[in-house]
Structure 1
């Protein structure tokens, strides 16, 4: 699908300190309810999730819709406040900062959203859209310097600088998403959080947008947190992968390790469902039932009622993420006990 080979972490990236860390993140959404209810209904979107994204890597979060990966991205970006836990950026805890104190970090953390048709203001030209963050974060720049920056960034992501006087409705979905990438790059960020950035695009142009993102990472020394449900994309784009299910982190590993030796039963089922060219290689997903409600989480391991390896311990005890011999982290009693 992609023109690039799979991303392999360099020694520098593999040993780099984390640029952003989420520590023990819990996020519950209060749904209100009747005043006579003893307990208010609560969506438990994230349940003690911890990740550390190294500087310079492309860290991918994968899982089915509703698993909490987009919620985690928004907590990291400060669009949502965590119920519990901490967010650290470049060694500083930022979730507890007031808005003004957090402003310098806003410039260093940018986001690309899923829907390119909704993320650009239809009343602003492309030039106005791209100039706005520059003028806000770099008020000392002259008009000429701002325009020069817009042109330079547009060219760097493969866009025509002549697009500046046009409006979003004049562009295709792929072109709009490339404009969104340019907008994120306008303020020289360190981290770009991309939330399903190609899922709303035609398959024919998904590879084009991904290649632009990969090239931009190399040119600008970017760190990516890439949210997706498509493991075939992860294989080509990611340096490390975190697999989420129902608000918990099941497995975390280098991309090559995860695809060569998946350990968690949920990860194995996800990988078995990737379409393959040869029908002889295709295997049924084998995942019974439906994802439980995040309002009423299963006891113990949240995956136990759908897991082919579950036993009584799995239904009673929440598994801890334990390190493996190749550096992976796996939260699974069956793996810990060698039942897999």
Structure 2
């Protein structure tokens, strides 16, 4: 807010500014894989997830599902895609209707998308999905407030699976859970992927979880895509200075001393982004070109993409 306040003509005015939460982010997600998107809070992960799902309309660019563009469709035209793409939200209690029982919550998407199904078919599907995710039959008549966070997240995952989707966006689905429950939910997601051939876009800031579940990883900073590659490559050979700083912050058992990369300054405000590379103010490898010119994405090795002048010039 302070960045919007200006003194002009003897008066204090508030300028209307435009925040680019996600800026020039381009990637593909391949069938059967898990693409994880990581970055610190405020980097645009959730905005990206909701844009991919069609909940937010992009101001520019394109969204395509199996080659078909869907970002400019009407609500009615989007209906076939809604059944194919589902989302698991970060806060399970906020995303579940408190006035509906578990049975009603799980039946609703099925009856909405497939109104011709009989009661017996709906019941069979309900039992199948509940058994898959560990939702007990006795829970069917209970309300969301009667469950723990882990149990509510299981219900959220079950709701997403009810319509047999091909693609699921999981927006930090375990961040509000304790460690033991996190492991259960992760294993549940991976088992469902194996059994149903699901494709995931997994949003998280927990790098240990990302390393465990991911096929590929995309690293975001201030709405831009810094690095994109296979999970093994990213954790063994990170190229972007921001990725290196993130990975250096992971605690390691038995490590003597500290190789933690300390970043200078604070995260800039997205209202007034810096010129050139958005990371240059905190980067130890920045030079005049970094401060002046926005880096383009390059591919130093097969399937490893990075947007960094220092990498391009061979300085790191």
1:95 aligns with 2:71: yes
Contact kept? 1:109, 1:192, Cα under 8 Å: yes
Partner deviation per Cα, 1:88-132 (whole Å, 9 max, x = no partner)? 011110001111111100110000000112111111110000000
1:201 aligns with 2:168: no
Q: Distance in 2 between matches of 1:170 and 1:39?
A: 47
Q: Which has the higher strand share?
A: 1
Contact kept? 1:43, 1:295, Cα under 8 Å: yes
Q: TM-score, normalised by structure 2?
A: 0.94
Residue 224 (structure 2) aligns with: 248
Residue 219 (structure 1) aligns with: 195
- TM-superposed CA distance for 1:328, in Å, is 0.3
Residue 307 (structure 2) aligns with: 331
Residue 204 (structure 2) aligns with: 228
Partner deviation per Cα, 1:186-226 (whole Å, 9 max, x = no partner)? 00001100000000111221111111001011111000000
Q: Runs of 4+ in structure 1 displaced over 2 angstroms?
A: 36-40, 281-285
- 1:280 aligns to what SS in structure 2? coil
1:154 aligns with 2:130: yes
Residue 264 (structure 2) aligns with: 288
Partner deviation per Cα, 1:60-107 (whole Å, 9 max, x = no partner)? 000000001110111111111111111001111000111111110011
Contact kept? 1:192, 1:223, Cα under 8 Å: yes
Structure 1 unmatched runs, 5+: 1-30
Residue 282 (structure 2) aligns with: 306
- TM-superposed CA distance for 1:40, in Å, is 2.3
Q: Distance in 1 between matches of 2:280 and 2:47?
A: 23
1:173 aligns with 2:173: no
Partner deviation per Cα, 1:45-65 (whole Å, 9 max, x = no partner)? 111111110111000000000
Partner deviation per Cα, 1:13-50 (whole Å, 9 max, x = no partner)? xxxxxxxxxxxxxxxxxx9x9xx979621112111111
Q: Distance in 2 between matches of 1:132 and 1:38?
A: 45
Structure 2 unmatched runs, 5+: 7-11
Q: Distance in 2 between matches of 1:268 and 1:326?
A: 20
- TM-superposed CA distance for 1:321, in Å, is 0.8
Residue 240 (structure 2) aligns with: 264
Residue 133 (structure 1) aligns with: 109
Q: TM-score, normalised by structure 1?
A: 0.88
Q: Distance in 1 between matches of 2:126 and 2:13?
A: 55
Contact kept? 1:276, 1:282, Cα under 8 Å: no
Q: Distance in 1 between matches of 2:152 and 2:213?
A: 21
Match runs of 1:48-127 below 5 Å: 48-127=24-103
- 2:21 aligns to what SS in structure 1? strand
Q: Distance in 2 between matches of 1:38 and 1:281?
A: 48
Q: Distance in 2 between matches of 1:306 and 1:316?
A: 15
